[in-house]
Amino acid sequence: MLAGKRIVLGVTGGIAAYKAVEISRRLVDAGAHVVPVMTAGAEHFIGATTLSALASEPVKTRLWDDPDTPIPHTRLGQGADLILVAPATARVIAAYRIGLSTDLLTNVLLATRAPVMMCPAMHTEMWEHPAVVDNIAALRDRGVHIVDPESGRLAGGDTGAGRLASPEVIVAAVQRLLSPGDMAGLRVVISAGGTREPIDAVRVIANRSSGKQGYALAAEAAERGASVTLVSTVDLVAPPGVAVQRVETAAEMQSAMERLAPVSDVVVMAAAVADFRPVTAVDRKLKKHDGVPQIVLEPTPDILAGLGARKPRRQILVGFAAETDDLEANARRKLDEKHLDMIVANDVGAPQTGFQHDTNAVTIFSPDAPAFVVPLADKRTIAAAVFDRVVSMRVSAHPT
Ligand code: C5P
């Protein structure tokens, strides 16, 4: 519920501006006080009267609208619990990234300490333009909450990525951000990325895991109030508030996980751990003229199975499974054999899922429960679905 929350809803000039009316209505229905701010561009797409009617106050458009409040940008920003920009055009994203204030909305964005959530909407070419990609990455690094656009029909009959996320998704993201974290007080450890097993001083056996799913899990858990440590093999930017323990090999990951897991309430093994490693790593570079080397492999320890065997009571242990066939049978077998509470299985052969993509599609299995399918979505949405289930598992295991 959003009772008592004050949300400045910034609406910029895109065809999706009409959806801001529905977003405003839903936020007001959930109890929020919505203060609408429209840019000059937005006024070309929707009437201020419509938005005013479904918000909590009349629309504000200019810095000098209100004779009683000559500097509304500071008042609006200071009093807000959230600044939500939906839709956010490439222009407002760029202006906010570089700190350029040209109108009431950009002034409000700069004159606030409230969290900011931006919901981009634009044509695919614009969304994928390196300048926009770069601006979005910079804003994310700064802690701005970005609700990724969807793929679908765009203005002018085109189809592709860039359509504003649906009002349901946007309002759910707002609710998650503003409600007291349902993971507050929980200690969570998450492994991310693929391990690298040395062959010699320069070569490794690696895999294609990008670590993106693990980082999305960490960002989600931290935002829901958990205290999160990532045990990671990759150098992605750590989500705000997340501690990172950098590791390289399965052995290093094992010792970090075994140190952190016993004091954690939730453990997620999202890393792609090598199953085999060279028995010995040569400490110099193997030379081509010495001939083709014989690399003898040995199995790595199954970190997750070890954590399952020593799982403290009340801990929730989550594994991942990348499968190419017999998804359910393989996932349920691992769930059972490794003593897991949940396994998140993805079909790595399917389009847009798994390694290196920004999206994933998974099926979540837990003992004695039907499979729960999360269709193709960004990795943050997958993370939210995983932790929704973790939270409900804890509640049903230990009702208050
Ligand atoms: O059995 P499989 O390797 O498919 O299981 C995948 C799960 O086990 C993942 O959660 C992965 O992080 C974990 N794993 C592990 N140690 C290994 C191999 C996999 O913890 N050596």
* pLDDT tens, position by position, 352-362: 777 778 888 99
Of all protein residues, the one whose alpha carbon is nearest to atom 2 of ligand 1 is: 321
Tell me which amino acid residue 41 is.
G
Residues in the chain: 400
What atom of ligand 1 comes closest to residue 191's alpha carbon?
12
At residue 349, the pLDDT reads 79
Higher pLDDT, 324 or 332: 332
At residue 162, the pLDDT reads 93
Question: Best of 195, 266, 275, 304 to mutate for ligand 1, by most ligand atoms within 8 A of CB?
Answer: 304
Task: Indicate if ligand 1 lies below 6 Å from the C-beta of 39.
Answer: no
What atom of ligand 1 comes closest to residue 274's alpha carbon?
21
Task: Indicate if ligand 1 lies below 6 Å from the C-beta of 167.
Answer: no
At residue 69, the pLDDT reads 64
Q: With a cut of 60, say whether residue 179 has pLDDT above it.
A: yes
Cross-strand partners of 372: 364
Tell me which amino acid residue 88 is.
A
Q: With a cut of 70, say whether residue 68 has pLDDT above it.
A: no
For the chain, which residues make up each domain, given as ranges?
Answer: 6-178, 187-397
Are the C-beta atoms of 35 and 73 separated by less than 8 Å? no
CATH architecture of 6-178: 3-Layer(aba) Sandwich (3.40)
Percentage of residues of the chain with pLDDT beyond 90: 78
DSSP string, 181-210: PTTTT-EEEEEESB--EESSSS-EE-----
Q: With a cut of 80, say whether residue 49 has pLDDT above it.
A: yes
**Residue 153 pLDDT class (50, 70, 90 cuts):** confident
The HSE-up count of residue 101 (CA atoms within 13 Å, CB side) is 12
Q: With a cut of 80, say whether residue 173 has pLDDT above it.
A: yes
At residue 157, the pLDDT reads 79
What atom of ligand 1 comes closest to residue 321's alpha carbon?
6
**Residue 347 pLDDT class (50, 70, 90 cuts):** confident
User: What is the H or E stretch that residue 43 is in?
Assistant: helix 42-45
Would residue 326 be called left, alpha or beta, if left means φ above 0 and alpha means ψ between -120 and 50 degrees? Answer: left
Mapping DSSP onto H, E and C, the string for 309-321 reads: HCCCCCCEEEEEE
DSSP-assigned letter for residue 155:
G
Q: How far is CA 316 from CA 18, 261, 326, 348, in A?
A: 43, 10, 25, 25
User: pLDDT tens digits for 12-22?
Assistant: 999 999 999 99
**Residue 66 pLDDT class (50, 70, 90 cuts):** low
CATH architecture of 187-397: 3-Layer(aba) Sandwich (3.40)
At residue 399, the pLDDT reads 61
- Sequence-distant (6+) residues with CB within 8 A of 350 are 361
Q: State yes or no: is 207 an active-site residue.
A: yes
**Neighbouring C-beta atoms of residue 243, cutoff 10 Å:** 14
DSSP string, 9-37: EEE-SSTTHHHHHHHHHHHHHTT-EEEEE
**Neighbouring C-beta atoms of residue 46, cutoff 10 Å:** 19
The H-assigned helical ranges of 227-377 are 250-260, 303-309, 327-337
At residue 70, the pLDDT reads 63
Please state the rounded mean pLDDT for residues 89-110: 96
At residue 275, the pLDDT reads 96
Global pTM reads 0.66
DSSP-assigned letter for residue 113:
-
What average pLDDT is seen over the chain? 93
- Cα of 147 from ligand 1 centre, angstroms: 30
Strands 316-323 and 297-299: unpaired
